[in-house]
Chain A
Amino acid sequence: MKFGVVVFPGSNCDSDAYHVLKDVIGVDCEYVWHETRDLSDFQALVLPGGFSYGDYLRCGALARFSPVMDSVYRFVDEGKLVIGICNGFQILLEAGLLPGAMLPNNVLEFRCQWVDLKVENTKTPFTCLYEPGEVIRVPIAHHEGNYYAEPDVLDELERAGRVVLRYVDASGNPTLEANPNGAARNIAGITNEKGNVLGLMPHPERCSESILGGRDGRRIFLSMIKSLETGASLSF
């Protein structure tokens, strides 16, 4: 089993994701330069955080035209796992692999802080190791994380259990105060219809070791590994 961490010009959380996968968890992992077209070596891909192409024009809007993205579409069609973290989530939205769009944070500022998240669906290849309804602590760091989609799209996401992570308070309620960026219905992370693509604004790679203040994020990667081992991802 091999993970690939895609490196776009301007990615800056690529080495963090790589470190967690390779050094902390110990799974096989390689960087994938954005001009790469052959992804046949990999079973899972990380689109990391950062500022691909400087986030010029719109976050993720230029990265979706990188050569690697043609292969990412096929990768997704084949049922392999793709996780887009922060800028990676924005790229997945721009690429149409996930529905909706990102607006600037409603506070109109960059926000770097810890947030509480509720794991709303544990029947995904990314969350199968969490307890249903579990509240986890994960950092965010973004300027455009205000998730937007049309109401009927949001309804469909909710209905199909595709809202996987939601900003909540410490007791698990999706309050206004707990929402750091104005995201619709406190949405922090969603999957595609098939369930093999996850986009999330929070950074699980920043909380996978206790020395960094928490390790709640680690089980996202461990869930992916478990799903790949058991072939669960292909059952969607």
Chain B
Amino acid sequence: MADISQTAPWREMGLRDSEYELIKARLGREPNYTELGMFAVLWSEHCAYKHSKRLLRTLPTKGPGVLVGPGENAGVVDIGDNLACAFKIESHNHPSAVEPYQGAATGIGGIVRDILAMGARPVVLLDSLRFGPPDDPKTRFLFGGVVSGIAGYGNCLGIPTVGGEVFFAKPYAGNPLVNVLCGGIMKHEDLHRGGAYGVGNVVMVVGHSTGRDGIHGCTFASDVLDEDSESKRSNVQVGDPFMEKLLIEACLEMMACGAVVGIQDMGAAGLTSSCAETAARAGTGLVIDVGKVPMREEGMNAYEVMLSESQERMLLIVGSDKVDEVKRIGAKWGLHAAEIGRVTDSGNLEVLHNGNLEASIPVSLLAMGAPEYTPGAREPEYLRKTRELKDESVRTPEFSEMKEILLELLASPNIASKEPVFRQYDYMVRTDTVEGPGRGAAVVRVKGTKKGLVFTTDCNGRLIYLSPKSGAAWAVTEAALNVAVTGAKPLAITNCLNFGSPENPEVFWQLKEAVRGMGEACQALETPVTGGNVSLYNESDGVAIYPTPIIGMLGLLEDIEKRITPGFKSAGDLVAVLGKVWGDVRSLSGSEYLEVVHGMVAGDPREPDLELARGIIEVLNEGAREGVFSSAQDLSEGGLLVALAESCIHGEGGARGCVMSPKALGCGGREGIRADAMLFGESNTAVLVSFPANCEEQVSHICRRQNVPLSVIGRVQSSALAVETCGGLRVLEVPAEEIAQAYSRGLEDSLKS
């Protein structure tokens, strides 16, 4: 091979000149080509978090229930009864942009193996998806591919896809987001770690054979998308869900028999990262012989084997007396289980091939030696314009237009039913799904206990675009309220920070501010960050996505029979708002209403009232325990009127309507109150509840104790949603069927038109 310093191959591998110099200095010599490739993948933004690490350290990560925080394959939270939940969210954006089916499929595979690596059985999946406008043919191609990729891979695994979100907006047109959350359950004693402990222990590769697919996948994931990206389709891995299913069962069996000292997924950067990270965590070294790795292609060299991102493989550290047991279980499931090396005390990752030493690198340098960057941050120029949102810049519609607006919002693809998506996912397998997709947060029971786990993913990128700090705080608050309306207590979050290029000071400012807002909200709501993932360089043709820090939240229901559901239950029940509805033009900032009806993405969203949110969560938890609430629904896109409509849509027979007046929310009295903002405003720290009239005293007692305003705004009725003005004038009446129809057909119609 030619002299490396002449041809500068690191540039093509994504390393900067300065990073190459650093490697040379720390190594005390020039790396060879294989070593350079190993550095390039592990020092990629995707693996090394070079631009985000300093910010991530500011997030709260500790809490009484957190058993494992960031740094391992997934966070683990105590859920009582000697059980724990491992959960994490991860992105697979770039692969999905060029090869949507396989990109999404392998995204599921990767996060499932992370949960498995903690010793948990994966039990739920949620997908948080972002696409361009549905009328764009490219969106339809990407959307179709991603959804069928999720279905094709996830359904085969027997892990129910219980929730998630889909959001359409122009900035995602060239760079869709595919974030997948997986949750798993384990007994405390089954917790495993990704550490190569015990000098002399055996390193094994279990699962699929290794091929040339996905080489430099994570380097690709750490660059912006441009016209060349299409040519990087070969960087995308190909998934085999059947193999993954066998791998899950085999690894759980191997762990159950006590054979596994350490276990790690081989995802991004494959063998290189799993070896370096397990050894770095344990403070040991590894010597491996790549010739012993089961291969599916002939003539692969050390470079290719070390960098391959072939899917469905796990690295196991096994006690030498247990190797045969692991091989036996592998054979039972028809999987490779090959010894490839041993744990050493050298502190180096030594790679042999055909008896030659192909690489020898200190694991600490490889796994933790990448530089950290704090690039310049500058408040984006656009904010000066978008912040201007005056009363007079938004025309207040006549009451006669409100019905049309409501139906338009319900049919808007961001609000409309996502059934055309989730009916393609098996969300019932495992027979634990108590509240599946399309009804707010997902609720799954934990067999053998009275408990329920509650999962949600949330993030309104439009709000974060308009105010990264308050928008990110909203994402956390909305997730917490989403969990709490089921009656559950929010426990912890995992996050996936999807942003543009951090080398753009305006993008880095967004990232910095968003992390600040997220940290404050997590602190106030006592929901620590247990792990997650950062995906930067989400740009295509120079356009960055909306900054999108997706929040995945876990909540716990102590008694699943006492859960609260979103639909109205019986006519005559009182309908009330817990919290505060602003009703002014500022609350229209970044709202779906403003974009759909007025074609504007503008405003300066208020920060959530975190103290109030805490109180609301307490009220919901206490109310659930006492069984006072008939229904609860959070206020998000579309505001109060859409929340009411959704409670009607999910309502039980004879309770599919309601009549409401905003009088109790204080309409006449305050300055700047507008009907459209009252009905469709967002960024309100509030939820909608209903309860039997004879529970009113009890509910208001709980609210007083928690200092939460309670406003009774109406009553449940049989079959129409009606709105009256403060003066008692009926200005709107929509039959339940019209509401249901707009909501159920919206997405399909928008994809067809």
Contact = CB atoms under 8 A, between A and B. Distances in A.
Interface of A: 9-10, 12-13, 15-16, 19-20, 23, 49-51, 53-56, 109-113, 139, 141, 143, 203, 205-206, 209, 211-212
Given A51-B245, A110-B424, 13 more contacts: A9-B333, A19-B447, A20-B431, A23-B447, A51-B241, A54-B240, A56-B242, A109-B148, A111-B424, A141-B426, A141-B428, A143-B155, A212-B433
B741 to A, nearest CB: 15
A113 B240 CA distance: 25
**6 nearest A-B residue pairs (beta carbon):** A12-B158, A54-B242, A51-B156, A141-B426, A16-B431, A110-B424
A112 B428 contact: yes
A212 B431 contact: yes
Interface in B217-258: 240-243, 245-246
B426 A110 contact: yes
B434 A212 contact: yes
Nearest to A112: B426
Contacts of A111: 423-424
Contact of A10 (B148, B156, B428, B445): B156
A187 to B, nearest CB: 21
A9 B240 CA distance: 14
Interface string B504-537: 0000000000000000000000000000000000
Interface in B399-446: 422-431, 433-434, 445
Contact of A16 (B148, B157, B425, B430): B430
B155 A51 contact: yes
16 contacts: A9-B333, A12-B158, A12-B429, A16-B430, A16-B431, A54-B156, A54-B240, A54-B242, A54-B243, A109-B148, A110-B423, A110-B424, A110-B425, A111-B424, A112-B422, A139-B428
B151 interface: yes
Contacts of B246: 9-10
B242 A206 contact: no
Contact of B423 (A16, A53, A56, A112): A112
Contacts of A50: 158
Contacts of A212: 428, 431, 433-434
Nearest to A53: B242
Nearest to A49: B429
A51 B242 contact: yes
B735 interface: no
Nearest to A19: B431
Size band of the interface chain B makes with A? 20 to 34
Nearest to A52: B242
A16 B429 CA distance: 8
Contacts of A211: 434, 445, 560-561
Nearest to A23: B447
B122 to A, nearest CB: 12
Contacts of B151: 109-110
B653 interface: no
B9 interface: no
B376 to A, nearest CB: 48
Most buried by A among B148, B243, B422, B423: B423
Nearest to B248: A12
A54 B433 contact: no
A13 B245 contact: no
Nearest to A35: B332
A112 B427 contact: yes
A185 B148 CA distance: 28
A59 to B, nearest CB: 11
Contacts of B241: 51, 54
Contacts of A141: 155, 426, 428-429
A63 B155 CA distance: 18
B157 A12 contact: yes
A120 B468 CA distance: 59
Contacts of A15: 430
Contacts of A209: 431
A173 to B, nearest CB: 21
Contacts of B375: none
B334 interface: yes
Contacts of A16: 429-431
Contacts of A9: 242, 245-246, 333-334
